[in-house]
């Protein structure tokens, strides 16, 4: 039988959790790597030398990451007959911190989304997307530098739970019959149906994580984004449970919008965090018109999906948007775009999303100087107008470079960064 996993790198040590729930990170950590499908190998080939160079430079050679390649996706299916071997899931749990490229999901059939499976199997309940402008990146808005937000999107519930029945299917008829006979709700017999579950448990752990992040990152505002005016018992409840959690668990830290003027004369006092809420449609306007007023956003799955891509567009598109899926036991950092199959193997795509996700990962393990160096290197490369095709076509006088060429440009700029 084929050995699915390569042995973990012998020189590396494991990242572990302390009893106090903090990460304990050695100077030579083993970090899991899922290369991904399509352009995954291209962006990884460009990004890994950047990560290694930044770590070496920022730590003066004291630190080094030992990458442990884990099989998933098309390569795993070809070699082991499984897209997502159980061994890979166990290895992610063991490694605690993993970085991954995009994984292809066939449309209208084939295997289930591996990304959704990873999130569910590993209970990665928070999709975290920082959205911040890298100076020099072409953007469709006038002041992209005003955007500096971190989105916490609930990852396990809502219409994404996958509970739906096709129009005309026996199950759909049974549910329609139940609604008609027991709830007095008469719907078109040919309706397709979906269920939108949202629970206090999943909502509260997401909002807890958003508040804790705000406290640690010295952010002053957490905004709950919901459509509770229409969907009262799901999205409206999300808002209510969010406020409830803040009152129950953070009474010393969190203050609310109604108190802001009555008790604090309009200014958030030092050491406090303001929690407010906005209706999702209004929020799409707010992020365009008054982006400076928002810092940390917590929201249900569907709102989060839409708003994170819209916000990414404001700062230069998905090629520059980092992200992570996080649980209480492990976290997977990932390029937020897909596997872009038509560019696979062409060494052309923008590795920016992978690079920024890596910087986010280094910050997560407490290697802030290393993370900052990568962001400064990317900024310097973009300001020197050395960019991949997607940005080059929007920038006058840009010098277009390949995917790996952009990685090399970032490394060159680490010195001056």
Report the nearest approach of ligand NAD to the CB of residue 102 (Å): 4
Q: Among residues 88 and 105, whose Cβ is nearest to ligand NAD?
A: 105
338 binds ligand NAD (CB under 6 A): yes
| Residue of minimal Cβ distance to ligand NAD | 338
- Binds ligand NAD (CB under 6 A): choice among 68, 88, 92, 104: 104
Q: Among residues 98 and 255, whose Cβ is nearest to ligand NAD?
A: 98
137 binds ligand NAD (CB under 6 A): no
119 binds ligand NAD (CB under 6 A): no
Reading the block at residue 94, the tokens are: 């063991």
Binding mask 49-88 toward ligand NAD (x if CB under 6 A, else -) reads ----------------------------------------
Task: Determine contact, residues 303/236, Cβ cutoff 8 Å.
Answer: no
Q: Among residues 234 and 388, whose Cβ is nearest to ligand NAD?
A: 388
Report the nearest approach of ligand NAD to the CB of residue 232 (Å): 31
337 binds ligand NAD (CB under 6 A): yes
Reading the block at residue 251, the tokens are: 């009474």
Sign of the C-alpha dihedral computed for residues 231, 233, 237 and 238 taken in this order: negative
Q: Write the secondary structure of the chain as one string of H (helix), E (strand) and C (coil).
A: CCCCCCCCCCCCECCEECCCCCEECCCCEEEEEECCCCCHHHHHHHHHHHHHHHHHHHCCCCCCCEEEECCCCHHHHHHHCCCCCHHHHHHHHHHCEEEECCCCCCCCCCCCCHHHHHHHHCCCCEEEEEEECCCCCCCCCCCHHHCEEEEEEECCCHHHHCCEECCCCHHHHHHHHHHHHHHCCCCCCCCCEECCCCCHHHHHHHHHHHHHHHHHCCCCEEEEEECCCCCHHHHHHHHHHHHHHHHHHCCCCEEEHHHHHHHHCCCCCCCCEEEEEEEHHHHHHHHHHCHHHCCEEEECHHHHHHHHHHHHHHCCCHHHCEEEEECCCCEEEEECCCCCHHHCCCCCCCCHHHHHHHHHHHHHCCCHHHHHHHHHHHHHHHHCCEECHHHHCCCCCCEECCHHHHHHHHHHHHCCC
Binding part of the chain for ligand NAD, among 23-31, 136-144, 176-184, 345-353 by CB under 6 A, reads 345-353
Binding mask 308-327 toward ligand NAD (x if CB under 6 A, else -) reads ----------xx--------
Longest dimension (CA), the chain: 72
102 binds ligand NAD (CB under 6 A): yes
Binding part of the chain for ligand NAD, among 101-109, 122-130, 154-162, 170-178 by CB under 6 A, reads 101-109
Q: Among residues 63 and 337, whose Cβ is nearest to ligand NAD?
A: 337
357 binds ligand NAD (CB under 6 A): no
349 binds ligand NAD (CB under 6 A): yes
Report the nearest approach of ligand NAD to the CB of residue 341 (Å): 6
- Binds ligand NAD (CB under 6 A): choice among 15, 46, 91, 105: 105
Binding mask 383-412 toward ligand NAD (x if CB under 6 A, else -) reads -------x----------------------
Report the nearest approach of ligand NAD to the CB of residue 383 (Å): 19
User: Could you list the active site residues?
Assistant: 160, 227, 281, 305
Report the nearest approach of ligand NAD to the CB of residue 339 (Å): 4
What is the binding site for ligand NAD (CB under 6 A)? 102-105, 115, 318-319, 334, 337-340, 342, 349-350, 353, 390
């Amino acid at each position: 039988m084929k050995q699915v996993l390569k042995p973990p790198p012998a020189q590396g040590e494991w990242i572990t959790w302390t009893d106090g729930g903090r990460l304990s990170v050695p100077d030579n950590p083993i970090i899991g790597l899922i290369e991904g499908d399509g352009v995954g190998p291209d962006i990884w080939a460009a990004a890994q030398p950047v990560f290694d160079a930044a770590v070496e430079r920022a730590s003066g050679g004291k630190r080094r990451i030992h990458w442990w390649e884990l099989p998933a996706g098309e390569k795993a299916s070809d070699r082991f007959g499984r897209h997502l071997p159980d061994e890979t899931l166990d290895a992610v749990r063991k490694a605690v911190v993993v970085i991954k490229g995009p994984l292809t999901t066939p449309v209208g059939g084939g295997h289930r989304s591996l990304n959704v499976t990873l999130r569910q199997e590993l209970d990665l309940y928070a999709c975290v997307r920082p959205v911040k402008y890298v100076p020099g990146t072409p953007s469709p808005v006038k002041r992209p530098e005003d955007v500096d937000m971190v989105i916490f999107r609930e990852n396990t519930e809502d219409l994404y739970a996958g509970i739906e029945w096709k129009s005309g299917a026996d199950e759909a008829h049974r549910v329609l019959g139940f609604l008609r006979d027991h709830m007095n709700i008469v719907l078109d017999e040919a309706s397709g149906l979906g269920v939108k579950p949202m629970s206090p448990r999943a909502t509260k752990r997401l909002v807890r994580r958003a508040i804790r992040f705000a406290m640690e990152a010295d952010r002053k505002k957490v905004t709950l984004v919901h459509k509770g005016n229409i969907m009262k018992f799901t999205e409206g409840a999300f808002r209510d449970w969010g406020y409830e959690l803040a009152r129950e668990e953070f009474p010393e830290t969190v203050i609310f919008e109604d108190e802001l003027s009555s008790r604090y004369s309009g200014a958030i006092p030092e050491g406090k965090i303001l929690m407010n809420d906005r209706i999702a449609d209004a929020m799409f306007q707010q992020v365009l018109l008054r982006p400076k007023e928002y810092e940390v956003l917590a929201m249900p799955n569907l709102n989060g999906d839409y708003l994170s891509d819209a916000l990414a567009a404001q700062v230069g598109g998905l090629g520059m948007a980092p992200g992570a899926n996080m649980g209480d036991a492990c976290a997977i950092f990932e390029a937020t775009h897909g596997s872009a199959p038509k560019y696979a193997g062409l060494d052309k795509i923008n590795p920016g999303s992978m690079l920024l996700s890596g910087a986010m990962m280094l910050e997560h393990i407490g290697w802030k100087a290393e993370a900052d160096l990568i962001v400064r290197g990317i900024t310097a490369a973009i300001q020197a107008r050395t960019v991949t095709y997607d940005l080059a076509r929007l920038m006058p006088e840009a010098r277009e470079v390949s995917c790996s060429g952009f990685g090399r440009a970032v490394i060159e700029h680490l010195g001056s960064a």
